[in-house]
């Protein structure tokens, strides 16, 4: 028995229903297997939802309750991140199966770090660990010389011919091309955080400068060094290694929409080639593959009310179908699952700017002054108080705590959109005694067509979404179309054409049932009771 869980990030049930019968690859699976909506977690945010998908437990029971997770003894400025295996306090499916002698492979999962899950039967990879913060942001090179990532980069142009020379301690690297061309991937030595790495980027030669796509680096993003080197040589250096479309550069106005679309296609190319390489190279009984393309496109385009934007979303579903089709012959049974859906967004609310205005969060020179900050919104709908003796270097006393909570909640309850007069935060949950680990002191939901952000660099508290530049789709808080992804079961012994209604915590019990493994510590139940 070989079972493959293919995660298509963000594939929304309400959109899939519209598209499925014009998508040949998916139509075959739907007509030949189990299919239906998959209810996500709350909040329905990728690392939170995927933690539930791979553990069979709701967030409060697996520990990944938000994008940032607060625990006693840490500074409020440095909570645990959901993109880290140490945040997970429950056993994931790859560990459950590998301890029972089955061979497991994970191509990408937010909590699949090899430093925690050590088992000789498990091969763990997560290419997102090849990103190194600010070093992995796209940038522009002007004609002339620049100091970039520890090297000297020189751009020369004669007529329409470009030449980029990277002068490093290991020698010179050259890239040549004409105006308008994309060249790469280009491998180059890089210095980031005082450490040396190999990096990869594409170059786009523009009229007066060169756009360099977000670099990925040869870090330890797998638990098999030999296999990681094979991936780097056979996939990354040949196909490139963009992990998402470069939304940051688009939002900043650094690149055009057409350039963004190119980066999104390059991202798809990487995951297609990478997944096929690993799944065919490694021996496995159970494996996880992952594709971000649908989520990338929906975030940018879904809230734009025109046919062009909607067609971009449709094209992303077509690419997902091709991705699934390329893997369909590898397992005996394939489970296709998405972690959440999508909702339209017209405006973005910067919660920390509201906290700054009411003097509970302090900003100096564009950065949060943690020594004077009493409360902080880190994302995921959670506000945490900087409490003395709970947070390291906390400043709020327990006597002040309930007064501070009431003050913040009162201001948020009365907060309305200055243009429409609409109340922004329809439900607010507050604690009159300090929250424990992995909880917020205040938890927020937001009205439909609004998204929340933890950004403190903006000048306004609310901004309109600019079509084709800012994200116009979001998920997490609406409990409508963003709550429902898709699940498909297809393969040997799976009944044909059966509609199901399932929850994201049902995926692990279903996999365990397929392998006839007993494991009782779960919140979900099997989608199927037995194979035919």
Q: What is the pLDDT of residues 426-447, one digit of tens each?
A: 999 999 899 999 999 999 999 9
Structural contact between residues 110 and 46, judged by C-beta atoms closer than 8 angstroms = yes
Q: What sign results for the dihedral spanned by CA atoms 65, 70, 76, 82?
A: negative
Average pLDDT of the chain to the nearest whole number:
94
- The confidence score (pLDDT) of residue 478 equals 87
Torsion, CA 84, CA 88, CA 92, CA 95, rounded to 10 = 80
Cβ contacts of residue 229 below 8 Å, gap of 6+? none
Fold designation for 3-131+243-342+480-514: Alkaline Phosphatase, subunit A (3.40.720)
Of 50, 475, 468, 477, residue with least CA distance to 247: 468
Question: Alpha-carbon distance 167 to 165, whole Å?
Answer: 6
Average pLDDT on 302-314 reads 96
With 70 as the cut, is the pLDDT of residue 183 above it?
Answer: yes
- The confidence score (pLDDT) of residue 366 equals 85
* Upper half-sphere CA count for residue 98 (Cβ side, 13 Å): 20
What SS3 state is found at 501? coil
**pLDDT, tens digit, for every residue of 465-503?**
999 999 999 999 988 999 999 999 999 999 998 999 999
Q: How many beta carbons lie within 10 A of that of residue 531, not counting itself?
A: 14
Average pLDDT on 180-186 reads 96
With 70 as the cut, is the pLDDT of residue 242 above it?
Answer: yes
Confidence class of residue 114 from pLDDT cuts 50, 70 and 90?
low
Q: How many beta carbons lie within 10 A of that of residue 152, not counting itself?
A: 13
Question: Alpha-carbon distance 433 to 371, whole Å?
Answer: 22
**pLDDT, tens digit, for every residue of 349-360?**
999 999 999 999
What SS3 state is found at 38? strand
Domain boundaries, the chain: 3-131+243-342+480-514, 133-212, 347-474
Q: Cα Rg for the chain, rounded, in angstroms?
A: 24
Structural contact between residues 340 and 46, judged by C-beta atoms closer than 8 angstroms = yes
Question: Alpha-carbon distance 94 to 4, whole Å?
Answer: 12
Confidence class of residue 112 from pLDDT cuts 50, 70 and 90?
confident
**pLDDT, tens digit, for every residue of 503-532?**
999 999 999 999 999 988 899 999 987 665
Of 167 and 64, the structure prediction assigns the larger pLDDT to: 64
Q: What sign results for the dihedral spanned by CA atoms 347, 348, 353, 354?
A: positive
Average pLDDT on 84-102 reads 94
266-286 per-residue burial string, b: 16 or more CB within 10 A, e: under 16? bbbbbbbbbbbbbbeebebbb
> 396 - beta bridge partners?
387
| CA distance readout (Å), 42 to 109, 162, 484 | 19, 50, 11
């Amino acid at each position: 028995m070989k079972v493959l869980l293919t995660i298509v990030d963000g594939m929304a049930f309400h959109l899939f229903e519209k598209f499925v019968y014009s998508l040949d690859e998916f139509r075959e699976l739907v007509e030949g297997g189990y299919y239906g909506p998959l209810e996500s977690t709350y909040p329905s945010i990728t690392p939170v939802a995927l933690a539930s998908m791979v553990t069979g437990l709701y967030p409060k029971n697996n520990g990944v309750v938000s994008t940032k997770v607060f625990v006693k003894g840490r500074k409020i400025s440095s909570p645990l991140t959901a993109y880290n295996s140490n945040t997970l306090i429950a056993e994931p499916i790859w560990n459950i199966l590998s301890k029972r002698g089955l061979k497991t492979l994970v191509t990408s999962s937010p909590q699949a770090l090899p430093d925690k899950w050590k088992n000789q039967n498990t091969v763990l990879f997560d290419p997102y660990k090849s990103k190194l913060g600010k070093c992995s942001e796209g940038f522009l090179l002007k004609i002339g010389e620049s100091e970039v990532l520890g090297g000297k980069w020189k751009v020369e142009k004669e007529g329409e011919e470009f030449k980029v020379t990277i002068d490093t301690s290991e020698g010179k690297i050259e890239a040549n091309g004409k105006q308008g061309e994309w060249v790469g991937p280009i491998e180059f030595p890089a210095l980031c955080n005082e450490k040396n790495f190999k990096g990869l980027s594409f170059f786009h030669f523009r009229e007066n400068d060169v756009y360099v796509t977000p670099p990925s680096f040869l870090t330890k993003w797998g638990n098999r060094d030999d296999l990681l080197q094979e991936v780097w040589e056979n996939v990354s250096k040949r196909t490139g290694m963009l992990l998402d479309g470069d939304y940051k550069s688009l939002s900043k106005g650094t690149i055009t929409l057409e350039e963004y679309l190119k980066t999104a296609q390059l991202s798809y190319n990487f995951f297609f080639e990478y997944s096929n390489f690993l799944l065919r190279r490694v021996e496995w009984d159970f494996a996880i593959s992952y594709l971000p393309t649908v989520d990338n496109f929906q975030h940018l385009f879904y809230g734009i009310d025109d046919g062009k934007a909607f067609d971009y979303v449709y094209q992303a579903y077509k690419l997902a179908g091709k991705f699934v089709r390329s893997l369909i012959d590898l397992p005996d049974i394939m489970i296709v699952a998405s972690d959440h859906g999508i909702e339209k967004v017209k405006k973005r609310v910067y919660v920390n700017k509201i906290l700054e205005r009411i003097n509970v969060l302090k900003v100096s020179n564009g950065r949060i002054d943690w020594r004077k900050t009493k409360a902080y919104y880190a994302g995921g709908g959670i506000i945490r108080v900087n409490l003395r003796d709970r947070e390291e270097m906390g400043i709020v006393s327990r006597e002040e705590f309930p007064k501070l909570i009431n003050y913040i909640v009162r201001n948020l309850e009365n907060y309305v959109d200055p243009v429409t007069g609409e109340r922004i935060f329809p439900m607010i949950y507050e604690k009159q005694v300090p929250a424990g680990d992995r909880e917020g002191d205040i938890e927020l939901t937001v009205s439909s067509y609004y998204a929340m952000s933890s950004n403190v660099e903006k000048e306004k508290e609310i901004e309109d979404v600019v079509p084709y530049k800012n994200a116009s789709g979001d998920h997490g808080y609406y409990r409508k179309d963003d709550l429902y992804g898709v699940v498909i079961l297809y393969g040997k012994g799976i009944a044909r054409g059966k509609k199901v209604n399932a929850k994201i915590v049902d995926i692990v019990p279903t996999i365990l049932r397929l392998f006839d493994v007993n494991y009782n510590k779960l919140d979900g139940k099997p989608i199927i009771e037995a194979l035919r």
